[in-house]
Amino acid sequence: MSRTHVTTTVNGDTVEFLCDPEETLLDALRDHLGLTGSKEGCASGDCGACTVKLDGRLVCSCLVLAAESVDRKVETIEGMADGDDLHPLQQKFLEMGALQCGICTPGFLVAAKDLLERNPEPSETQVRYCLAGNLCRCTGYDKIIRAVMETAEDMRGA
Amino acid sequence: MKYEAPDTVEAAVGLLSSAQGTARVLAGGTDLLVQSRAGMVEPDLVVDIKRIAGMDAITEEDGGFRIGAAVSGAQLGEHDGVKAAWPGVVEGVELIGSTQVQGRATMIGNLCNGSPAADSVPAMIAAGATVHVVGPDGSRDVAVEEVVTGPGKLSLSKGELIASVFLPKPEAHSSDAYLRFIPRTEMDIAVVGAGVALTLDDSGTVSAARVALGAVAPTALLVDACAQAIVGTTLDDAALENLAAAASAACNPIDDKRGTIKYRTKVAGVLARRAAVIAKARAGETS
């Protein structure tokens, strides 16, 4: 079995790793690059805990082979804050307690950031539909949705 | 498992033709990776077609659109031209999975997965779409309804892959619609799906129609009797009743946890008539 040598961009940095053909991008991020913010929940694309952006598209990194990521642009939760300055969504999730156990939080944040970049003024229905691919087993949806709505409002005013 | 990412169609066909054991084409991977993780398929070779030039392109051709095998649902949904020409096809594709799944899933992958419940397939059949098959003995164009022969089974030969799907130029005063029933608001597998494409003449009478049903038989069905029930009518109540009866009569579903035979048979008629009404309203708005 031959390993694939992958050179790609993660959060703006060029990275290299060797991977087996069966390994997913999620495996590579966590096990080869030490980026453990993306979580494995279901490993079947249902829960969204492993959400990252790949070439500008929101994807489940558990449904991407690591070998596919050669020369791509990967954005993970680790790239969301600017140094010590949290992204407004991260700050709002903290302030509003929009998390319980926290396992789903990185996926929600990456997905919500993408949503607000595409649609700065989403309706609540749009937020709920756009985040339908992110599951919270603690069922803390209400605070999550409200945090996204409030962040959108703050960012529009800023 | 071996992973290959060739940069030409010819190389991909060569790899698939000479493969020992189980070979699979990888586009969006939203079915393949789940199935291989679950042990439902154990590929010896995976051929990623996303490095092949043009696979991710939507191009105008003869007034219609050719959509490459690696075009994601998200990309399709952002294409104003396809949305205007075939809104039913786009709504069928956009029903597949979450935002994250839309970022990867492709309509040709949805077709080649071979599920009778695939949401994009009835809409593609109703639209009269064809796929471009490339293989070791050359290429051919195949009607979408002839690709899947049974659950998970395709009419493709060893070494063949589907490079693109072609949505023809719609006639004047034409449109389409796709509806599916699921027990919740989204992210579920169709209990029944119905796609309708129709053309109106100057008096508002249906002059041509294609009706396709999903999840009510081993493959998606193109139902001629449904088309006959509405061609020559203005979709009055009697025509819609006949359409629904023809749709229900065509059903050969299974009983499973998602729906009973009786329920699926009934709902197929309901969805066919509702989709026809939407398609007619849309066709009336086109020039």
Would an 8 Å CB–CB cutoff place B100 in contact with chain A?
A: yes
CA neighbours closer than 13 Å in the CB half-sphere of residue B150: 1
pLDDT of residue B2: 96
Among A residues 117-146, those touching chain B with beta carbons less than 8 Å apart: 129-134
Task: Say if B77 is an interface residue toward chain A (CB within 8 Å).
Answer: no
Interface contact A68-B72, CB threshold 8 A: no
B39 and A CB contact within 8 Å: no
Task: Flag whether residue B72 sits within 8 Å of chain A, measured between CB atoms.
Answer: yes
Which residues from chain B sit within 8 angstroms of residue A18, using beta carbons? none
Does residue B274 belong to the interface with chain A, where contact is any CB pair within 8 Å?
Answer: no
CATH class of A4-79: alpha beta
Interchain contact, B98 vs A63, CB within 8 Å: no
Interchain CB contact of A65 with B (< 8 Å): yes
Domains, chain B: 2-115+130-167 (3.30.465.10), 174-285 (3.30.390.50)
SS3 B268: helix
Query: Is B189 an 8 Å CB contact of chain A?
Result: no
d(C-alpha B280, C-alpha B203), whole Å: 13
A94 and A86 Cβ atoms separated by less than 8 Å: yes
The minimal CB distance from A21 to the residues B1, B37, B97 is found for B1
pLDDT range class, residue A114, cuts 50, 70, 90: very high
Once rounded to an integer, what is the mean pLDDT over residues A136-155? 96
Q: Is residue A101 predicted with pLDDT exceeding 80?
A: yes
- Judge: A132–B48 Cβ closer than 8 Å, yes or no: no
CATH domain A88-157 topology = DNA polymerase; domain 1 (1.10.150)
pLDDT in tens, A129-145: 999 999 999 999 999 99
The string of pLDDT tens digits covering residues A65-94 is 999 999 999 999 999 999 999 999 999 999
What is the CA B202 to chain-centroid distance, rounded? 29
Query: Given B2, B33, B100, which is nearest A133 (Cβ)?
Result: B100
User: Exposed, middle or buried: residue B15 (CB in 10 Å: 0-12, 13-18, 19+)?
Assistant: buried
pLDDT at res. B140? 98
Run of H or E including B182: none
pLDDT exceeds cutoff 90 at A1: no
Q: What is the pLDDT of residues B129-164, one digit of tens each?
A: 999 999 999 999 999 999 999 999 999 999 999 999
CB of B34 less than 8 A from some CB of A:
yes
Per-run averaged pLDDT (10 residues), chain B, 287 residues = 97 98 97 96 97 98 98 98 98 97 98 98 98 98 98 97 98 97 89 98 97 98 98 98 98 94 98 98 86
Q: Say whether B97 and A45 touch across the interface (CB within 8 A).
A: yes
Predicted pLDDT of residue B287:
58
Distance from CA of A81 to the nearest CA of B (A): 21
Give residues with Cβ within 8 angstroms of A45, minimum separation 6: A60, A62, A63, B30, B33, B34, B97, B98, B100, B101
CB-CB under 8 Å, B186 with A65: no
Give the one of B1, B5, B30 whose C-beta lies nearest to A45's C-beta: B30
For residue A2, what pLDDT is reported? 81
pTM: 0.96
Residue-range domain boundaries for chain A: 4-79, 88-157
Q: Give the full edge-to-edge strand order of the sheet including A13-19.
A: A13-19, A4-10, A73-75, A51-54, A57-60
